Structure 1
Amino acid sequence: MKKPAGAPPQEVRLLGGQWKRSKLPVADRPGLRPTPSRVRETLFNWLGQDLTGWRGLDAFAGTGALGFEAASRGAREVVMVEQDPTLVVQLQTIRTRLKAEAVRVQRGDGLAALRAAAGQGLDVVFLDPPFDAVNLFEPALRAAREAVSAEGFVYLEAPRPWVEADLAPLGLSLHRHGRAGAVAFHLLHPALPGATG
């Protein structure tokens, strides 16, 4: 049976690293919108194919595509946070199947997890919140800024582009950005103290 146009895919594939081509199921859950393959490919071209030793946090993990992709490419530790209990079980199942020792799955609130990570000096934080949760973006970005190292990255997926004027008050600057359909995606750096856009 043909799936309706605009329906989310039923699975996504990891693109690189030790689990390249491994399939991740996509549950039929409200608001679940896996990062498109070409967006993930662009992101990991920006970050680099080899993330050996990196520590990351996937704050709104969903299918786990971003976090598992990072672990597949050698990240030492990836914490995946997800509120939906069905998705948490699915993430734990995938972790077991892949023997993804570097991945830790926890059920909880992504924003709370970001705030708890303040000062940890993470290498990367992935932010792909539900697009209808518009009030979540600014506090999540602010908390992510506090969780990454001075050289770290914050990845943001959003329904609209975020520009320097939006980001500067949050202590972040735009490193790279792109657009794919309804998705605006951004790679951000902590802004240098005293730097202005």
Structure 2
Amino acid sequence: MARNRPGSGQVRIIAGQWRSRRLPIQDLEGLRPTTDRVRETLFNWLSGELSGARVLDCFGGSGALAMEALSRYAAYARVFELQKSAVVQLQNNLKTLKCEHADVVAGDSLHLLAQGPKGQAARQDPASGEGFDIIFIDPPFRKGLAENSIKALAAHNWLKPDALIYVETESELQALPIPADWHQLKEKTAGQVCYRLYRFEPESTEE
């Protein structure tokens, strides 16, 4: 997501099967599509990891991150979004793209995360109840949502081993409750935005 600029009403898919497609987005408070520059860097980081991946977008907003992942041949995406008009727009955009391997789940993200992946029925999910390979955490800023999302993801079995977790926050937010088995791979700052990539590497339970 990222705060919407005046007059913006579209998001552009950068690469993949829907390259350069422009899709309408809702002009809503707190909605701030991740800039093309940041998305390009992020998806360069994810290069080689997307094809066939199961993706979870915890704060869908414009859908820019999930749709970019799907354009680059992610196998499935589940998108959480609170605002009803944004949910409808996301569903319509997926129909426009003729994408049948994504679900938009309406509701409060922290409540949905607390249910765990087995607590939700997802129509298009061929592996419903399993964890995810790539997770996007890009919430409205300055509401403590990134910190609480990290805790919920770690506590409720959302992550497959070796999963990648992308976290986008306000640049002044320095301390995040990163679990010991999340290892930071990348970090960059662009203006008022700081974005980081982690890999989930759980300790082996084998003796």
For the structure 1 residues 128 and 8, does the alpha-carbon distance in structure 2 shift closer, same or farther, using more than 3 Å as the test? farther
The amino acid that maps onto 1:82 is: E
The amino acid that maps onto 2:111 is: A
Matches within 5 A, 1:158-197: 158-160=169-171, 166-169=176-179, 171-193=181-203
Q: CA RMSD in A?
A: 2.4
Question: Cα deviation per residue 1:36-65 (whole Å; 9 max; x = unaligned)?
Answer: 101111111001166221001111100000
Cα offset, 1:161, TM superposition: 6.4
Answer whether contact 2:162 2:201 (CA < 8 A) is retained.
Answer: no
Matches within 5 A, 1:32-43: 32-43=31-42
Q: Higher helix proportion, which one?
A: 1
Q: Does 2:134 match 1:138?
A: no
Gaps of 5+ in 1: 1-5
Give 1:154's match in structure 2, choosing from 165, 170, 173.
165
Q: Does 2:99 match 1:94?
A: no
Answer whether contact 1:81 1:110 (CA < 8 A) is retained.
Answer: yes
SS in 1 for 2:73: coil
The amino acid that maps onto 1:154 is: I
The amino acid that maps onto 1:52 is: S
Identity %: 38
Q: What is the number of equivalent residue pairs in this alignment?
A: 188
Cα offset, 1:144, TM superposition: 2.6
Cα offset, 1:167, TM superposition: 4.4
SS in 1 for 2:17: helix
Q: TM-score, normalised by structure 2?
A: 0.82
SS in 2 for 1:60: coil
SS in 2 for 1:155: strand
Cα offset, 1:87, TM superposition: 0.2
The amino acid that maps onto 2:117 is: A
Matches of 1:50 and 1:166 in 2, distance apart? 25
Gaps of 5+ in 2: 119-128
The amino acid that maps onto 2:83 is: D
The amino acid that maps onto 2:31 is: L
Q: TM-score, normalised by structure 1?
A: 0.85
For the structure 1 residues 143 and 86, does the alpha-carbon distance in structure 2 shift closer, same or farther, using more than 3 Å as the test? same
Q: Does 2:23 match 1:24?
A: yes
* Aligned residue in 1 for 2:135: 125
SS in 1 for 2:40: helix
Cα offset, 1:112, TM superposition: 2.4
Matches of 1:162 and 1:117 in 2, distance apart? 28
Question: Cα deviation per residue 1:77-116 (whole Å; 9 max; x = unaligned)?
Answer: 1001101000001001101100111111111111222232
